[in-house]
């Protein structure tokens, strides 16, 4: 018995360590996505389309590698799948435009308000009353948002519009998370869910990108490499690593990845794009992160 325990504990510890490393690596991959968008040679909606379109083949190739178990029929859940696709398309489109108009730090922080909107939706539509800790977190986050908006006045003339689009992004992402939760509760696997919703998102974004009049194709080979980085590193690898990690770690670790992403995104923008971080912006960002953390603790 002692031998089994002695050999089993290190294996479990090694697996947990690998899962935590995957969680942090996945957060880092996703944090790079606004950098790819900012340096892209195509328009915001077009980059959102290529982000998912180029990721579709990789995701479908990964589906057979997932756990082998009976999947529920996709036709049974077509309404939720379509809802997830529409929500994710709105999330990406609005976020990419937000990145173009405001700072990477602001757009990423505001998009992470999604977890707060999830709890508000559960309160308004499903009558799940939030705790007092959530309400304190909500007020704290709103104070931080006020600081971010104030800092935007000194960033550029379009920054306030970008901040507003970041909040809309969070609403769409909250809708996406609720749809995904419904699908997961019905037994749809993570890889199948990602492959189907990514495909639907690409199909929805293509006509929008065409109608927008944006540059749809990059003009250089380097432009294609940037889009591949967005699709394969930030989308496929980032989402896949986090999905793997959360299968082996407590759900509370999701908060770590959500809080880690905007901090890394701001650091990447500072080091790679030379995007300055104002004192009020850093304080406001810290207040927003504290509010999100409290809100998630209060809605757990």
pLDDT of 2 reads 41
Token pair recorded at residue 20: 């935590």
Report pLDDT digits (tens) over 212-261.
Answer: 999 999 999 999 999 999 999 998 888 778 777 766 776 556 656 667 88
pLDDT tens by residue, 281-300: 999 999 999 998 888 787 75
Q: In this predicted structure, what is the pLDDT of residue 190?
A: 78
> Could you tell me how far CA 242 lies from the centroid of its own chain?
10
CA distance 268 to 256: 18
Whole-number pLDDT of residue 208: 95
CA–CA distance, 297 with 255 (Å, rounded to integer): 9
Contacts of 173 (CB under 8 A, 6+ apart): 87, 91, 111, 114, 117
Per-residue pLDDT tens over the stretch 28-68: 999 999 999 999 999 999 999 999 999 999 889 887 776 65
When the pLDDT of each residue in the chain is averaged and rounded to a whole number, the result is 86
DSSP 2-68: HHHHHHHHHHHHHHHHHHHHHHHHHHHHHHTHHHHHHH-SS-HHHHHHHHHHTTHHHHHHHGGGS--
Q: Which of 249, 253, 233, 238 is nearest to 17 (CA)?
A: 249
The sign one gets for the Cα dihedral 206, 212, 218, 219 is: positive
Distances 126 to 113, 123, 149, 173, 176 between C-alpha atoms, Å: 20, 6, 31, 18, 16
pLDDT at residue number 162? 94
| Band of pLDDT at residue 9, cut at 50, 70 and 90 | low
Residue labelled with tokens 């479990």: 12
User: What CA dihedral angle connects 257, 281, 166 and 261, to 10 degrees?
Assistant: -10
Question: Which residues are CB-contacts of 133 (< 8 A; sequence separation ≥ 6)?
Answer: 294, 295, 297, 298
- What proportion of the chain, given as a percentage, has pLDDT over 90? 50
pLDDT at 3: 44
Please state, in angstroms and rounded to a whole number, the distance separating the CA atoms of residues 239 and 129. 30
The model's pLDDT over 61-98, given as tens digits with 9 standing for 90+, comes to 887 776 655 555 555 578 888 999 999 999 999 999 99
């Amino acid at each position: 018995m002692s031998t089994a325990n002695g050999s089993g504990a290190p294996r479990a510890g090694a697996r947990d360590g690998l899962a935590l490393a995957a969680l942090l690596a996945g957060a880092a991959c996703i944090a790079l996505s606004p950098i790819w968008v900012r340096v892209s040679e195509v328009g915001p909606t077009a980059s959102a389309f290529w982000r998912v379109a180029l990721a579709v083949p990789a995701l479908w190739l990964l589906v057979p590698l997932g756990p082998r178990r009976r999947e529920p029929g996709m036709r049974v859940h077509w309404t939720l799948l379509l809802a997830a696709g529409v929500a994710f398309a709105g999330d990406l489109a609005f976020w990419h435009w937000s990145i173009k108009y405001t700072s990477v730090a602001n757009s990423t922080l505001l998009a992470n308000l999604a977890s707060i909107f999830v709890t508000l939706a559960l309160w308004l539509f499903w009558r799940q009353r939030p705790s007092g800790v959530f309400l304190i977190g909500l007020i704290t986050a709103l104070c931080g948002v006020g600081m971010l908006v104030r800092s935007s006045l000194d960033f550029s003339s379009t920054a306030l519009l970008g901040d507003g689009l970041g909040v809309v992004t969070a609403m769409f992402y909250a809708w996406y998370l609720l749809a995904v939760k419904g699908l997961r509760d019905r037994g749809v696997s993570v890889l199948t869910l990602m492959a189907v919703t990514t495909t639907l998102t690409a199909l929805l974004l293509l006509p929008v990108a065409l109608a927008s009049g944006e540059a749809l194709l990059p003009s250089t080979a380097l432009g294609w490499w940037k889009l591949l980085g967005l699709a394969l590193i930030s989308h496929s690898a980032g989402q896949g690593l986090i999905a793997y990690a959360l299968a082996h770690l407590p759900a509370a670790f999701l908060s770590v990845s959500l809080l880690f992403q905007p901090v890394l995104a701001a650091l990447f923008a500072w080091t790679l794009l030379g995007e300055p971080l104002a004192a009020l912006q850093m304080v406001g960002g810290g207040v927003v992160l504290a509010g999100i953390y409290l809100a998630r603790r209060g809605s757990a």
